[in-house]
Structure 1
Amino acid sequence: MKKKQVKIGVIDSGINPYHSHIGEVNGGISISVGKDMYLEWNSDFRDRLGHGTAVAAAIRDEMPDCELYAIRIFNEQLTTYPTVLCAALEWAIAEELDIINLSLGVMNESVELKQLCQEAKEKGIFVVAALDEDRGFIYPARYEGVLAVSAGEYSKGEFEYSHDNCFRACGYPKELNGDIQRYNLHGHSFASARFTGMIGKTIKEQDEKNYSSIYELLIKEGLKNK
């Protein structure tokens, strides 16, 4: 019997499908705000900043056989409007992805963002977000239904369950060559990405996507390293 294909969405600056550490990108979208302040959608999810590609490479390093979907919300810099972030989550939920990776965070609460994270959980979709408490980038990581991940001194494939929905994982990305290396820094973004890949492996190994049972397995495994 063929194992389940795990679909992972990366909400970031896009993904470069031609990078040797990425391989195939199974689909995606680019969302931005136009001059008239309306949302614009197109299929050009190519990464012009490098951050999303580095994040995707870390996911691939943990789970080489996942299906990757690029959801580009960052264009010229790593900032965007809250409406764009919410639209990206809506797209990912509609596409019925298994995991949504958010190697990012914002300082201010958003009712709509919180509701979308809860909706994702109710539909069995894991939302994984970087938690940077030192700099105050704590949302959506602090919302119910989101798995918050911070960087810790762990090796590839290792993670720890801390408390509530909080985990720690390896914060080192896969080594990249060329210009993209400028985003190849140790940090919470890559801890989130690596943990996303490990969730994907757990889903595939269990050949199911029952949210509660997968979550319980993650806590059980994470407690071993605490």
Structure 2
Amino acid sequence: MKKVGIIDSGVEVAFLREQALRLAGAASFTLDLDSGELETRIYDADELEAWRQGTCALEVEDTHGHGTAVLSLLHAHARPWPDVELYVARIFGHQVHASSLCLVEALDWMLDDVGVDLLNLSLGTTEDGMEAPMREVIDRAVARGAVIVCSAGALPTLPARLPSVMAVGDLELMDRVAGKGVKVDHVVSERTVRIYMGGAWHEAPMTTSYACAVTAGGLLRGG
């Protein structure tokens, strides 16, 4: 059975209920800007099922919507949904912004502790300070056979610029980065997508984040 992971803003429990999806594991990573301390919460399948049934609240609920939109695309483009274990790591809150330290810790958890086979990273950072630990954990995972799909950026970003990551772009991005030396390994040609966000389905313009999830879903469908 394959293990599939998403690092993003969590997931709306309403989407899990609607699609009859269950999480095999989840975690949240939060950096206290005043103390500089990283807070990590890891949840097992039983805790997550209680949350899905509405008997408790956990720090993986998506208060922004981006992570849910990403999961909805991966789910839609992998149909028929295969027999997989699904894992979610929440590093974003109300705004899609997080410390690179949270990202590295989430990568460690997803790739080393959980050992996912396919990881969706609809995100990126221009901060170079965490490149070495990020590269180390990603290269180690790819060496054992994991596939890591990441959004390309308008500038060379991490982790997309790492050789071992599949960097994904959309047509608009390709127009913007022509001749700028941005690494793009795969381009999604669709201009719009249908996403689940904020408790409902919406038509939305294609972005690199969404293109990443579309690509990951296709890889999952193809085995």
TM superposition score normalised by structure 1? 0.74
Alignment match of 2:157 (pick from 106, 131, 138): 138
Q: Once the 2 structures are TM-superposed, how far is the Cα of residue 96 of structure 1 from its aligned partner?
A: 1.1
Are 1:13 and 1:48, in contact at CA under 8 Å, matched by a contact in 2?
yes
Q: Once the 2 structures are TM-superposed, how far is the Cα of residue 117 of structure 1 from its aligned partner?
A: 1.7
Q: Once the 2 structures are TM-superposed, how far is the Cα of residue 21 of structure 1 from its aligned partner?
A: 4.8
Are 2:152 and 2:169, in contact at CA under 8 Å, matched by a contact in 1?
yes
Residue 16 (structure 1) aligns with: 12
**Cα deviation 1:4-51 (Å, max 9, x = unaligned):** x32211100001232135732332101111352221112431111100
Which runs of structure 2 are paired with 1:71-220 in the superposition (5 Å)? 71-93=89-111, 94-109=113-128, 110-133=131-154, 136=155, 138-152=157-171, 166-169=185-188, 170=190, 172-176=192-196, 178=198, 184-203=204-223
SS of residue paired to 2:39: strand
Which stretches in structure 1 are left out of the alignment for 5+ residues?
A: 154-163, 204-226
Counterpart Cα distance in 2 of 1:74 and 1:80: 6
**Cα deviation 1:39-82 (Å, max 9, x = unaligned):** 11124311111000000000000122343211000012111111
Question: Could you say what the CA RMSD is over the residues aligned between the two structures, in angstroms?
Answer: 2.6
Q: Once the 2 structures are TM-superposed, how far is the Cα of residue 123 of structure 1 from its aligned partner?
A: 2.1
Q: Once the 2 structures are TM-superposed, how far is the Cα of residue 125 of structure 1 from its aligned partner?
A: 1.1
**Cα deviation 1:72-100 (Å, max 9, x = unaligned):** 00012111111110000000012011111
Residue 38 (structure 2) aligns with: 39
Q: Quick check: 1:7 aligned with 2:3?
A: yes
For these two proteins, the number of residue pairs brought into alignment is 188
Counterpart Cα distance in 2 of 1:11 and 1:61: 18
Residue 175 (structure 2) aligns with: none
TM superposition score normalised by structure 2? 0.75
Greater relative contact order (Cα 8 A, min sep 6): structure 1 or 2?
Answer: 2
Are 1:131 and 1:149, in contact at CA under 8 Å, matched by a contact in 2?
yes
Percent identity of paired positions between Structure 1 and Structure 2: 26
Q: Once the 2 structures are TM-superposed, how far is the Cα of residue 107 of structure 1 from its aligned partner?
A: 1.6
SS of residue paired to 2:187: strand
- Cα distance 1:47–1:177, how it changes in 2: closer, same or farther (>3 A)? closer
- Cα distance 1:92–1:188, how it changes in 2: closer, same or farther (>3 A)? same
Amino acid corresponding to residue 89 of structure 2 in structure 1: I
Amino acid corresponding to residue 196 of structure 1 in structure 2: A
Counterpart Cα distance in 2 of 1:176 and 1:96: 27
